[in-house]
C-alpha cells in the first residue's frame, strides 16, 4: 500500500542546486546527524537522510528539490501528533478547547519557536538573498520545521521518529497555553472555534477611534459571526485591537 519510504516522489530525483554545489554529500550528512542528535533521536538507522536534506533546503537554494512537498506532509503530521497528545494529556477537556489549542500549537509562530530552539536555521540551505529577508524568517523556520517532521514521518511511515522528541515540547507549550491564555493568539483560537462549531470564519472591522500614534486605544476592532455581533476590543495597532476583540469573543463563546 505504501511502497518503500519515498518511492515515486518527485523529491527522489535529486538535481544539483543552482550554485552547482552537490548537496547531500558526506559533510552535509555529518551536519544533519548533528541535528538528529539534538532532537534526541537514537534510532538514526531509520532516518532517510535524503529526505531530511530536502527538508532543510529552501526553494531559493533549489527551485526543484526543496522542502515544499515535505512541508505539505509535515503540516498534517504535526496536526495529528498534536491531536493525539492533547487527547492523551487532557482527556477531560472540551473538544472546542482542543481545537483552539491545536490551532496555536500548529501556528507558524509556535513552530518557528520550536525550530529556533533546535537551531534549525543553521542547517537550512538557502540563497543569500533569501536569508536577508528578515521578515520572512518566521514562516521560513516554520516551513522547515514542518518539512523536517514530514521527512521523519516518511522515513518510517510512522510517528516513531517524531513523537519521542516532539511530544514533550508540544506538551510544555500546551500547558503554557492552558495556564496563561494571554500567550494565546486569540484570532487563531477564535477562528478555529467558530469553524469547528459553525463552519464559518469571524469577520473583523477596524476603525481609528483614538488620539494618534501613542494612544493605547488608537484603534477599535469589531468582530462578527455571520450577522451576529460578538465583541469589540481596542489597541495601539489594528492587529492589537483585533486580538483584543478576538480575546473577548473567544472567552465569551468558550464559556
Active site residues: 75, 146
Q: How far is the CB of 108 from its own copies (least distance, A)?
A: 8
In the numeric block, the cell 534549525 is attached to 120
Q: How far is the CB of 186 from its own copies (least distance, A)?
A: 17
Q: How far is the CB of 158 from its own copies (least distance, A)?
A: 5
Q: How far is the CB of 109 from its own copies (least distance, A)?
A: 12
Count of beta carbons in the 10 Å neighbourhood of residue 74:
27
Q: Is 31 annotated in some ligand binding site?
A: no
Q: Is 146 annotated in some ligand binding site?
A: yes
In the complex, which residues of this chain contact its own copies (CB under 8 A)? 1-3, 7-12, 68-69, 71-73, 75-77, 79-80, 82-84, 86-89, 91-92, 95, 98-99, 102, 139, 153-154, 157-159, 163-164, 167, 199, 201
d(C-alpha 125, C-alpha 173), whole Å: 28
Nearer to its own copies, 25 or 88 (CB): 88
CB 183 within 8 A of CB 105: no
The C-alpha angle with vertex 68 and arms to 63 and 71, in degrees rounded to 5, equals 160
CB 193 within 8 A of CB 251: no
Nearer to its own copies, 105 or 125 (CB): 105
Burial of 187 per CB tally in 10 Å (0-12, 13-18, 19+): buried
CB 155 within 8 A of CB 161: yes
Nearer to its own copies, 11 or 126 (CB): 11
User: Is 163 in a helix, a strand, or coil?
Assistant: helix
Q: What does the DSSP 8-state code read for residue 231?
A: E
Q: Is 143 annotated in some ligand binding site?
A: yes
Nearer to its own copies, 77 or 104 (CB): 77
d(C-alpha 53, C-alpha 38), whole Å: 16
Q: Write out the binding residues.
A: 71, 143, 146
Residues annotated within a binding site for Mg(2+): 71, 143, 146
Amino acid at each position: 500500500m505504501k511502497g518503500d519510504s519515498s518511492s515515486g516522489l518527485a523529491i527522489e530525483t535529486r538535481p544539483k542546486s543552482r550554485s552547482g554545489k552537490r548537496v547531500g554529500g558526506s559533510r552535509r550528512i555529518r551536519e544533519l546527524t548533528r541535528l538528529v542528535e539534538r532532537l534526541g533521536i537514537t534510532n538514526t538507522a531509520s532516518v532517510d537522510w535524503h529526505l531530511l536534506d530536502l527538508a532543510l533546503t529552501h526553494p531559493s537554494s533549489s527551485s526543484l528539490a526543496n522542502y515544499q512537498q515535505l512541508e505539505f506532509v509535515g503540516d498534517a503530521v504535526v496536526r495529528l501528533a498534536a491531536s493525539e497528545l492533547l487527547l492523551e494529556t487532557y482527556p477531560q477537556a472540551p473538544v472546542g478547547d482542543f481545537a483552539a489549542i491545536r490551532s496555536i500549537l500548529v501556528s507558524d509562530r509556535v513552530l518557528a519557536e520550536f525550530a529556533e530552539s533546535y537551531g534549525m536555521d543553521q542547517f537550512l540551505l538557502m540563497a543569500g538573498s533569501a536569508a536577508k529577508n528578515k521578515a520572512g524568517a518566521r514562516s521560513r523556520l516554520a516551513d522547515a520545521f514542518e518539512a523536517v517532521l514530514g521527512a521523519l514521518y516518511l522515513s518510517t511511515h510512522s510517528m516513531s521518529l517524531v513523537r519521542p522528541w516532539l511530544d514533550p515540547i508540544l506538551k510544555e507549550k500546551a500547558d503554557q497555553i492552558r495556564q496563561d491564555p494571554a500567550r494565546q493568539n486569540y484570532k487563531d483560537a477564535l477562528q478555529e472555534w467558530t469553524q469547528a462549531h459553525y463552519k464559518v470564519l469571524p469577520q473583523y472591522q477596524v476603525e481609528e477611534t483614538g488620539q494618534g500614534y501613542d494612544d493605547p486605544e488608537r484603534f477599535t476592532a469589531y468582530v462578527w459571526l455571520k450577522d451576529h455581533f460578538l465583541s469589540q476590543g481596542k489597541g495601539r495597532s489594528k492587529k492589537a485591537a483585533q486580538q483584543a476583540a478576538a480575546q473577548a469573543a473567544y472567552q465569551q463563546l468558550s464559556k
